[in-house]
């Protein structure tokens, strides 16, 4: 992943590991330590294809979660 410019605002993108969450058909998924590129100016996050594919595999049930966390719903 090479540092480049943000397509949204033109700011500089930097590599970073972050936690991402997704809500898919009522199920909540939490992804820790995902390597992304984040814009220092607007905060936009760009997920590389390999990470996005791994997240998709997890959502489809093809990967075993590291742990499960109960989440309160209000």
pLDDT reported for residue 73: 85
CB 16 within 8 Å of CB 47: no
Q: Structure pTM?
A: 0.80
pLDDT reported for residue 1: 45
Residues of the chain with pLDDT under 70: 1-3
5 domain residue, yes or no: no
74 domain residue, yes or no: no
**Could you list the residue range(s) of the whole structural domain that residue 19 is in?**
13-59
Read off φ and ψ for residue 26, nearest 5 degrees: 80, -5
pLDDT reported for residue 3: 57
49 domain residue, yes or no: yes
pLDDT reported for residue 14: 94
pLDDT reported for residue 2: 55
**What is the sign, positive or negative, of the torsion defined by CA atoms of 6, 16, 30, 53?**
positive
**Domain count of the chain?**
1
């Amino acid at each position: 992943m090479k540092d480049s410019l943000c397509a949204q605002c033109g700011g500089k993108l930097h590599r970073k590991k972050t936690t991402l969450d997704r809500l898919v058909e009522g199920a909540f998924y939490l992804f820790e330590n995902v390597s992304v590129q984040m814009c220092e100016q607007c905060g936009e996050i760009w997920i590389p294809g390999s990470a996005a594919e791994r997240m998709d595999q997890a959502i489809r049930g093809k990967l075993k979660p590291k742990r499960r966390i109960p989440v309160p719903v209000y």
